[in-house]
Amino acid sequence: MSNPQNIREKILQEIEQLSDTKQEEVLGLVENYIHQQNDETEWKKIPDNWKKRIEESIKQADAGEVTLNEDAVKYIRKKYKLDE
């Protein structure tokens, strides 16, 4: 099993390589993954600028203003084995 910290870092690196639009689509996955791990220490390790973007993305998603790209979700989940 991979170390959650390593997975988080890989996801952040992957997000940084995406276009701004795609970044917004996958930011919520990072937050969801961390909360699935039930580990607030992981959340604390994320840089503040990323926390703000993740929180903003969640607010927009909650308001129905952002729809996650299904292919992006599948790609991230498969690549980092988040469903296992």
pLDDT at site 5: 63
Instruction: Count up the domains in the chain and report the number.
Output: 1
Res 8 pLDDT > 60:
yes
- Mean pLDDT, residues 68-81 taken together: 61
| pLDDT per residue as tens digits for the range 32-56 | 666 666 666 666 776 777 777 766 7
CA atoms within 13 Å, Cβ hemisphere of 81: 7
20: in domain: yes
Confidence of residue 1 (pLDDT cuts 50, 70, 90): very low
CA 66: distance to chain centroid? 14
In this model, does residue 68 exceed pLDDT 60? no
Indicate the SS3 state at residue 37.
coil
What is the reported pLDDT for 13?
A: 72
Does residue 70 lie in a domain region? yes
Give the domain extent around 34.
4-79
Q: Is residue 84 part of a domain?
A: no
Rounded to whole angstroms, the Cα distance separating 28 from 65 reads: 13
Is 33 domain-assigned?
yes
DSSP readout, 54-74?
HHHHHHHHHTT-----HHHHH
